[in-house]
Copies of this chain bind each other. A is one copy, B any other.
Amino acid sequence: MQSLHVDLGVRSYPIYIGENILSEDLLAPYIYGRQVMVVTNETIAPLYLDDLRKCLTKFQVDVTILPDGEAYKDLQHLNQIFDELLSKRHNRTTTLIALGGGVVGDMTGFAAASYQRGVNFIQVPTTLLSQVDSSVGGKTGVNHPLGKNMIGAFYQPQLVVADISVFKSLVDRELSAGLAEVIKYGLIYDEAFFCWLEENIERLLARDSEALSYAVYRSCEIKAEVVAQDEREGGIRAWLNLGHTFGHAIETHQGYGVWLHGEAVAAGTMMAASLSQKMGCISSDELNRIRLLFEKSNLPVIAPDDMTPEAFLSLMAVDKKVLDGRIRLVLLESLGRATVTDDYPQDQLNAVLQGQ
């Protein structure tokens, strides 16, 4: 078992990474009252809920089972968690445990931030994407029909347990979606990690434990390093959104859940990388390496056919990174380093939005 420390002052917390590591000894020290509310979904519950219950023998355990999918990440389903908490009379010493992917983690985190104005929160992410992305950094929230993640809070868990044994039951499409974020970490922060991914992509797709453990560890380490420098996203943290401004527009346009988040991020990252190449920041050879790695990972590298540049611009205009009307984009300064800018040639952006 490996561990990482996310350094956020009084809000610091550990991440444990390893195979078959979930246990009462690991969890119990981070549960302060006697009540626990496990939040999961209808897909994950049959797979892992019993295992988790066996680690909570000392506590009053209640469970909220959400429907599965990004389409249900809204205020209405958030309220389902509050309904359960109140009907089971959970008080402010309760602990919420998110057992699931990014949607479950984001919703449980926001419920924990908001229930009685803040209760204890533990993440047990069950997908690659949630282990490397949403479990680190404290971004929680739900979607609004007019924009993704528009309602939420910064709220840190007490503990994250990333058990890689869950990958055995992860469907291929979800594994690929997670790899999109893993690749992103190499692109924005660590060229050597990007090269390692190029060399090890087949092992990762074959679910080699050692390779997956390393990929999760290094991804969490990069994210923790970035977040520790900039918890509230005033600067460098925005790098983590490489491909996300384009990607969120794709997700919103297609309807939440039609494209997986990681799929939209892959196509969005290719758009950001294309613009970076047009601006001379990366070479066409590097652009091709990025495309090839996404393709090998079975990820989309172009936007949906039916999305016009106008649709992109309209949806991107409500993105959280817009400041006073000008769309700010995360681009590559070089392979392994990102930059945030609103200084790019509009005609080159238009060309990218037209798929050129």
Contacts and interface: CB of A to CB of B under 8 A. Distances in A.
A92 B147 CA distance: 13
A87 interface: yes
Interface in A202-222: none
A86 B318 contact: yes
Number of copies: 2
A33 B326 CA distance: 13
Interface residues of A, number: 36
Contacts of A318: 86, 89, 91
A144 to B, nearest CB: 6
A33 B82 CA distance: 34
Interface stretch (A23-31, A62-70, A149-157, A241-249): A149-157
Interface stretch (A39-47, A114-122, A253-261, A294-302): A114-122
A146 interface: yes
A322 interface: yes
A144 B82 CA distance: 8
A200 B206 CA distance: 80
A150 B86 contact: yes
B86 A75 contact: no
A115 B150 contact: yes
B324 A91 contact: yes
B86 A153 contact: no
Interface in A127-157: 139, 141, 144, 146-147, 150-154
Interface string A319-348: 010111000000000000000000000000
Contact of A153 (B118, B144, B322): B118
Nearest to A35: B324
Contacts of A323: 91-93
Given A93-B323, A324-B93, A151 B114 contact: yes
A322 B91 contact: yes
A15 interface: no
A58 to B, nearest CB: 14
Given A33-B324, A91-B320, 11 more contacts: A79-B144, A86-B150, A91-B322, A93-B323, A113-B153, A115-B150, A116-B150, A116-B320, A117-B153, A117-B320, A118-B154
14 contacts: A75-B75, A75-B79, A82-B144, A86-B144, A86-B150, A86-B318, A89-B318, A92-B320, A113-B153, A115-B150, A115-B151, A116-B152, A117-B154, A118-B153
Q: Which 10 A-B pairs have the closest CB atoms?
A: A86-B146, A116-B320, A91-B322, A117-B152, A114-B151, A75-B75, A92-B320, A117-B154, A82-B144, A89-B318
Interface of A: 33-34, 75, 78-79, 82-83, 86-87, 89, 91-93, 113-118, 139, 141, 144, 146-147, 150-154, 232, 317-318, 320, 322-324
